[in-house]
Structure 1
Amino acid sequence: MNAFLETSEGKMLIEALKGLIDIDSTEGRATAVYPFGEGVAEALHYMLALGKSYGFKTENIDEYAGYIEFGDGAEMLGILCHLDVVPAGDGWTYPPFEGTLVEDRLYGRGTLDDKGPAMACLFAMKRLKDSGYKPSRRIRLILGTNEESGSKCMDYYVEHAEIPTLAFSPDADFPVIHGEMGILLFELKKTFSDRLEDGGVRLLNLKGGTAPNMVPDTAEAVLIDTKPVIPILEAYNETKGTSLSYERAGDTLIIRASGVSAHASTPEKGKNAIAALLGFLDLIDLEIGDAANFVRFFNRTVGSETDGTSFHLNLKDAYNPLVFNLGMIDLNETEASVTINIRYPITLKEADVKRGIDTTISNSGIQIGNWLNIDPLFYEKDHPLVATLMDVYREFTGDLKAEPITIGGGTYARSVPNAVAFGALFEGSEDLMHQKDEYISLDDLSKMLTIFEKAIRALS
């Protein structure tokens, strides 16, 4: 039995986190009251009520965000967390929204990203408050509700609430993140006008992916197979190690690809189901036309690559290479779109990436839509905020040689000045963020609680 679970504090923390995991806070349909849906709002209300019950000051910022605060002073330490989660996907061993405790692991969507770290920070504040600690800076746990799909919640917070003097976000890895790569999100679209009824296999539709910042673990194509395709599918699975299956539905043949989800910042950890399906479709005798050309274009320029090489995006700097994720596809007989998520090197510019994309799609008839750029974030290693948090990490872990790192992920640290990501994944711990069977170990949860307590004390 985990020793932390046996303490009154540990039991309280785990039960509080289980209650938060039980809430499906995937972004939902916006309403007149809830900009990101009722599920995310329920998670925000839960956390604010919990904070209030512990004697903290709380405020709801028009359902976009909220905060839990204690202490006095003109300056403020912000702790930037989010309560929304990516879609659960399929194939879970335990229900994604039930907070299942198995031995020393708590399973559920958001246990690592970012509900577990958020709850650890709240309990670190509670531990400090209960001990009588008097901070020289106010401590404010800021809770966002739209981090996974644009961080519009933090844009709203910045416009309507007080900006922290300095801040950290426990939404990445330990030790300190002193650089976050640039992020590009966009669609590549084409309207189909050309189709030749030449007796080839007719592609009726092709769909895959649930969010651009996830490696898609499912994809599906519907065909009218005027020519044999099953032997090709079976050979493709055998030679490529893919997981394609099929079934008949009237006159159509449905092909399904199964992959392995992962965070779009580390797509090499997953298996892209869309890429697997595109590779198969490129092998068969598709009906000549725009739909077939679209499929062949993306299999040729992306395929299973995660570095953008064939897309004229083989870019890197001293810190990171470019990361490329084909996140979603939606194709029918009249049009198609692909959603791409790119993480580009810290020292490069948006224009550097755009130049490569323009080169690749020139003369293809493919248009760019819904372009969103988030510039890189970078602090020198000797920046006071980075240095202070590194001191906390080295003292806590005993790893005196540890150095700050850079990542492809994006956090709330970009939303306010003088902020970095700090934690919450420890080196050597399994990273199942944005994947099925996401969990947090009770040992790591206990360590998070203590290291965040020390970080808050050092910064406040």
Structure 2
Amino acid sequence: MEKYQNELLKDTLELLSFDGEEGKPLPGAPFGEGNRQCLDWFLSKAESFGFQTKNLDGYCGVADIGEGEAFGILGHLDTVPVGDGWTHNPYGEISGDVIYGRGVVDDRGPMLACLYAVKSLLDEGLIPKKRIRFIVGCNEETGWRCIKHFNTVEKMPDTGFSPDADFPVINCEKGIATITFEKNYSGNVEISGGTRPNVVPNVCTARIPDTADNLTIIEKSGLEYEIKDGRIVVTAHGKAAHAATPALGDNAIVKLLKALSDIDVDLKKIYNAFKTSDGKGAGLDLRDDVSGALTVNLGIISSHEKLKFTINIRYPVTVKKSTLIDILDKCLYDFTIAESEFQEPLYVDKNDVLVKTLLSTYNDVMGTNLDAISIGGGTYARALKHGVAFGPEFPGVESTIHMPDERTPISTYMNVFKIYREAIRRLCF
């Protein structure tokens, strides 16, 4: 497989060069010019490998090869914002034996590795026994409108996998709830923090009256501050992480609210509810044996016109949406829900043929004896009647998705390619 390495790395850098943050809608580019250019590039590459492709109005794309029952490989080309704190080029760089770039792990790199995996099998003269259907979306990070559009114009395969999570195989994905609360606010704190509900915020800033009491509180907090235009401007810095694994990050909003809770009663209520990612303060410390414990990320906050904040919850598969709402209504009785969006949990039995095939593939290639696992992340596998998430992150390896310097060692990337190649061979050839 070494003969594909240079070509795959070169194309990966090209794919990473496009801006994947959701941008201004344009004709044929509902999620911005960068995402449209990235989609065009991917479909063109698939065509060069012999696939038949369709661009579905810039929302997503399809690349098909083979005949018969469809097997889906679903992933996305959009990314979370690049953000601050990078020490390497966020639009693609190889330094030493490591590839850096937003999307190299989540999810452009894995999708390209899958495309190359199919190419390598075709190059051997193998003929697919199924219709392999790549579905590439451009709005996974901010709403799944790409998949919703796909379902209005195309038929979704029943079975497949999404290379957008972890190895060895994910047979269980927690439910996802994104909920925005708001209330009329007459306090003296101007606060702003966070960019996406599904990202642990790494910076949060507030402006408060320059009084002796406030200054004492802020000085004791140890947070960065300055006096400007008669206000104390205080900033908390944290560490970004994916909201599915909030413990890997350091929530800057929570850090700032801890200090401000001695100044403002409404902010104190939010802090007490969500100061820990297990949701215990809000009464959300729920778990089950199948999928584990609930997690919550306080992802966005602002006090412009109204006090508003957004949380992202990953809840166990046996927990009902109504239970979450009842608990939150009781805890945040003086806030109202401005917006809410839910994604149902996913669960496929460990003894299912798809799960067993993917699991055995991983274990055979890597020489391990691991079992299927549950995650808090949500993937396009939920769009399938019978689908799971499969890679690309390895057990015990630090995750850098949604963080500065998102990266993967070249050796790891090539192992990803080998695993996907063998899995697709077993399932589709």
Q: If the length of structure 1 is used for normalisation, what is the TM-score?
A: 0.90
**C-alpha contact (below 8 Å) 1:27/1:37 kept by paired residues:** yes
Q: 1:24 aligns with which of 4, 19, 26?
A: 19
Q: Which amino acid counterpart does residue 298 of structure 1 have in structure 2?
A: I
**C-alpha contact (below 8 Å) 1:217/1:260 kept by paired residues:** yes
**For residues 249-268 of structure 1, what are the structure 2 equivalents within 5 Å?**
249-268=228-247
Measure how far apart 1:90 and its partner are. Answer: 0.7
**C-alpha contact (below 8 Å) 2:210/2:227 kept by paired residues:** no
Q: 1:174 aligns with which of 143, 154, 167?
A: 167
Residue 406 in 1 paired to residue 374 in 2? yes
**C-alpha contact (below 8 Å) 1:186/1:370 kept by paired residues:** yes
Measure how far apart 1:109 and its partner are. Answer: 0.6
Q: SS of the residue aligned with 1:113?
A: coil
Q: Quote the residue 2:303 is aligned against.
A: 331
User: Hey, what's the Cα distance between the residues in 2 that align with 1:409 and 1:119?
Assistant: 21
Q: List gaps (5 residues or longer) in structure 1.
A: 196-201, 238-243, 287-291
Q: Which amino acid counterpart does residue 74 of structure 2 have in structure 1?
A: L
Measure how far apart 1:429 and its partner are. Answer: 2.2
**C-alpha contact (below 8 Å) 1:246/1:253 kept by paired residues:** yes
**C-alpha contact (below 8 Å) 1:208/1:328 kept by paired residues:** yes
User: Hey, what's the Cα distance between the residues in 1 that align with 2:353 and 2:377?
Assistant: 22
**For residues 200-215 of structure 1, what are the structure 2 equivalents within 5 Å?**
202-203=188-189, 205-215=190-200
User: Hey, what's the Cα distance between the residues in 1 that align with 2:249 and 2:158?
Assistant: 38
Q: Which amino acid counterpart does residue 261 of structure 1 have in structure 2?
A: A
Q: Which amino acid counterpart does residue 44 of structure 1 have in structure 2?
A: L
Q: Which amino acid counterpart does residue 322 of structure 2 have in structure 1?
A: A
**C-alpha contact (below 8 Å) 2:158/2:384 kept by paired residues:** no
User: Hey, what's the Cα distance between the residues in 2 that align with 1:41 and 1:326?
Assistant: 31
Q: Quote the residue 1:186 is aligned against.
A: 179
Q: Deviations over 1:405-460 (max 9, x none)?
A: 11000000001211110111011322111111110111111011111111111111
Deviating more after overlay: 438-447 vs 389-398:
389-398
**C-alpha contact (below 8 Å) 1:172/1:423 kept by paired residues:** yes
Q: Quote the residue 1:301 is aligned against.
A: 273
**C-alpha contact (below 8 Å) 2:204/2:256 kept by paired residues:** yes
**For residues 382-401 of structure 1, what are the structure 2 equivalents within 5 Å?**
382-400=351-369
Q: SS of the residue aligned with 1:253?
A: strand
Measure how far apart 1:306 and its partner are. Answer: 0.2
Q: 2:4 aligns with which of 9, 17, 35?
A: 9
User: Hey, what's the Cα distance between the residues in 2 that align with 1:142 and 1:129?
Assistant: 19
**C-alpha contact (below 8 Å) 1:222/1:252 kept by paired residues:** yes
Residue 67 in 1 paired to residue 84 in 2? no
Q: Quote the residue 1:143 is aligned against.
A: 136
User: Hey, what's the Cα distance between the residues in 1 that align with 2:203 and 2:165?
Assistant: 26
Residue 449 in 1 paired to residue 421 in 2? no
Residue 87 in 1 paired to residue 81 in 2? yes
Q: Quote the residue 1:281 is aligned against.
A: 260
**C-alpha contact (below 8 Å) 2:243/2:312 kept by paired residues:** yes
Measure how far apart 1:293 and its partner are. Answer: 2.6
User: RMSD between aligned alpha carbons?
Assistant: 1.4
**C-alpha contact (below 8 Å) 1:21/1:115 kept by paired residues:** yes
Deviating more after overlay: 294-303 vs 177-186:
294-303
Q: Quote the residue 1:271 is aligned against.
A: 250
Measure how far apart 1:22 and its partner are. Answer: 1.0
Measure how far apart 1:121 and its partner are. Answer: 0.5
Tell me how many residue pairs correspond in the alignment: 427
If you compute each CA radius of gyration, which structure gives the higher value, 1 or 2? 1
**C-alpha contact (below 8 Å) 1:116/1:440 kept by paired residues:** no
Q: If the length of structure 2 is used for normalisation, what is the TM-score?
A: 0.96
Residue 435 in 1 paired to residue 403 in 2? yes
Q: SS of the residue aligned with 2:199?
A: coil
User: Hey, what's the Cα distance between the residues in 2 that align with 1:440 and 1:69?
Assistant: 28
**C-alpha contact (below 8 Å) 1:158/1:416 kept by paired residues:** no
User: Hey, what's the Cα distance between the residues in 2 that align with 1:359 and 1:223?
Assistant: 29
Q: 1:357 aligns with which of 279, 303, 328?
A: 328
Measure how far apart 1:148 and its partner are. Answer: 0.6
User: Hey, what's the Cα distance between the residues in 2 that align with 1:248 and 1:122?
Assistant: 54
Q: 1:226 aligns with which of 204, 208, 211?
A: 211
Aligned-pair identity in percent equals 38
Q: 1:347 aligns with which of 305, 318, 325?
A: 318
User: Hey, what's the Cα distance between the residues in 2 that align with 1:335 and 1:165?
Assistant: 44
User: Hey, what's the Cα distance between the residues in 2 that align with 1:146 and 1:169?
Assistant: 15
